[in-house]
Chains A and B, each alone.
Chain A
Amino acid sequence: MENSTLIALVSIITAGVIMIVGSIFPAISEGKAVATALSSLAQQPDAAPTITRTLFVGLAMIESTAIYCFVLAMILIFANPFWNHFIGS
């Protein structure tokens, strides 16, 4: 197999795997966070502003791991440094 084919193959498969892992687990944890926040909102509606703010900050923290995976997949597909190096040389 040629080097360029190999790089393209590995990059595409890795990007897919990254998106699989990076969307499953943040989705699970965000679901847990929202479910917990909803049940505490039902118990204590008075604490709504605090819970909502903390929920948003926490969701952003969880979301950022998914975003890291997304950025990495984007780099692998559209701006792959190994690919560019191989094509350039």
Chain B
Amino acid sequence: MKFSPDEIVFWEYGFINLNLTIVTTWAIMLVLTIAAGLITRNLKKDLQISSWQSLLEIIVININSQIEEIGIDNPKKYIGFIGTLFLFIATANLFVILPWYQAPTASISTTAALALCVFLAVPFFGITEKGFKDYLKSYVQPTFIMLPFNLIGEVSRTLALAVRLFGNIMSGGVIVAIMLSVAPLIFPAIMNALGLITGMVQAYIFSILATVYIAAAVKNIESIK
């Protein structure tokens, strides 16, 4: 049984190989880029706007308000990163409705890459917002003894982000595969619908957790007290 899209290889040269994960990832990137380009090509400020523009406005406004609710004052600075994460994962999980499609998020390499992006973005935003010295100081809060625990927490939460998304999406695929061999008539479709919900929730969770981590890094220590 193949339960990772990494195992379907189209082309191989030395250690470089082109598998289904890379193909679908690039396809999703292409779809997102072309869609965003087409929609934002002629934006209007009238009362009559196109339905696509209003869809995009709903998405952007909602992401902005979600980021703001977590405690970041200027969400426009972070929506580029967090919104992209959300849109990519959500689209990747939504396309499960297409036949013969396997979500790239069902491969540990994709989710590890996304989690590494969060892992690097947290110190990046922290340093740009608070300065290098103040950011390093946040590791020895509340006392110096907590330094190793803070460092371990930084690594383990990245691992948890990657494994959570991978496990949820992969388990959906595995359950559908098992159902196909046990009760192939209706149940796989129901489980697929359930996988769709799980995928959306996981996209939300991933971006919310990324926001929480970034918010913890950019918040001033004085303002918390």
Contacts and interface: CB of A to CB of B under 8 A. Distances in A.
B69 A60 contact: no
A49 to B, nearest CB: 7
Contacts of B3: 74, 78
Given A49-B69, A78-B1, A67 B205 contact: no
Contacts of B69: 49-50, 53
B164 interface: yes
A82 interface: no
Contacts of A83: none
B208 A53 contact: yes
Q: Which of B69, B164, B201, B204 has the most CB of A within 10 A?
A: B164
A68 B204 contact: no
A60 B204 CA distance: 10
B163 interface: yes
Interface residues of A, number: 14
Interface size class of B (residues with CB under 8 A): 20 to 34
B167 interface: yes
Interface in B163-197: 163-164, 166-168, 170-171, 174
Given A49-B69, A67-B171, A78-B3, A57 B164 contact: no
B209 interface: yes
Interface in A40-78: 49-50, 53, 56-57, 60, 63-64, 67-68, 70-71, 74, 78
Given A64-B164, A78-B3, A56 B174 contact: no
Interface of A: 49-50, 53, 56-57, 60, 63-64, 67-68, 70-71, 74, 78
